[in-house]
Amino acid sequence: MKTVLVFKTSVLDNRSVKKLKPVLNKLVTKNGDWNFDLEDCDNILRVETQNLGALTISKLLRKNGFSCEELH
């Protein structure tokens, strides 16, 4: 069963998304998907996954210089 995780981020533009694309693609394997909604005031990241937790994704973004907070 897939889970959708939603995060508020500090990713502001497509240049930043391109920077994160390789690491997110590696983390979210063929059974998942991810996307940013930069039109939203919270710069939303949605991750559809079967096996990742929110903490793993948050740590990845922080390691790459962005804030990331799971929304419930």
The mean predicted confidence, pLDDT, of the chain is 92
56: tokens are 């793993």
Residues 14-20: contacts with CB within 8 Å, 24+ apart? 14/38, 16/66, 19/64, 20/61, 20/64, 20/66
Mean pLDDT of 31-58: 92
User: What's the pLDDT score for residue 70?
Assistant: 96
Could you tell me the residue range of the domain that residue 61 belongs to?
A: 3-71
Q: Residue 38: which pLDDT band, with cuts at 50, 70 and 90?
A: very high
Which CATH number characterizes residue 34's domain? 3.30.70.100
Has residue 14 got a pLDDT over 90? Answer: yes
Please tell me the total count of domains within the chain.
1
